Amino acid sequence: MIQEFYKGVEIELEIHQLQQGFWKCDYTLIIHPEGTRTLHRGDGEFPTMDLAKEYALQEARQAIDQSNAGRPAGEFVNPPREVRIKPYPG
């Protein structure tokens, strides 16, 4: 599984090789912090894994852009978080 973030939305890609040797890629959009998931089944078959991945990633980005149309950027982009790391005991 491959993960990527675009405009504050997590994209999970799941690539499958079909019996005929072609490739297909499903993607899931995950909106944080709610954890809302939307699964999209890949509808195309591609001769290489890379083509399937790029096509699904392009579709996912377009879906995010369409769902965020008209919203200010601050509504859907996650702010950075501060993480404090303590020294290792011992």
Distance CA 61, CA 67 (A): 10
> Which range has highest mean pLDDT (1-15, 31-45, 72-86)?
1-15
User: Are 32 and 79 in contact, with CB atoms under 8 Å apart?
Assistant: no
Q: Which residue, among 66, 16, 17, has the nearest Cα to 38 in the 3D structure?
A: 66
| Mean pLDDT value across the chain | 81
- Give the global pTM: 0.70
Beta carbons within 8 Å of 76's beta carbon, 6+ residues apart: 7, 8, 9, 31, 68
Residue-wise pLDDT tens digits, 55-68: 999 999 999 998 86
Confidence (pLDDT) at 76? 47
Q: Which domains does the chain have, with CATH numbers?
A: 2-71 (3.30.160)
- H or E stretch covering 28: strand 23-31
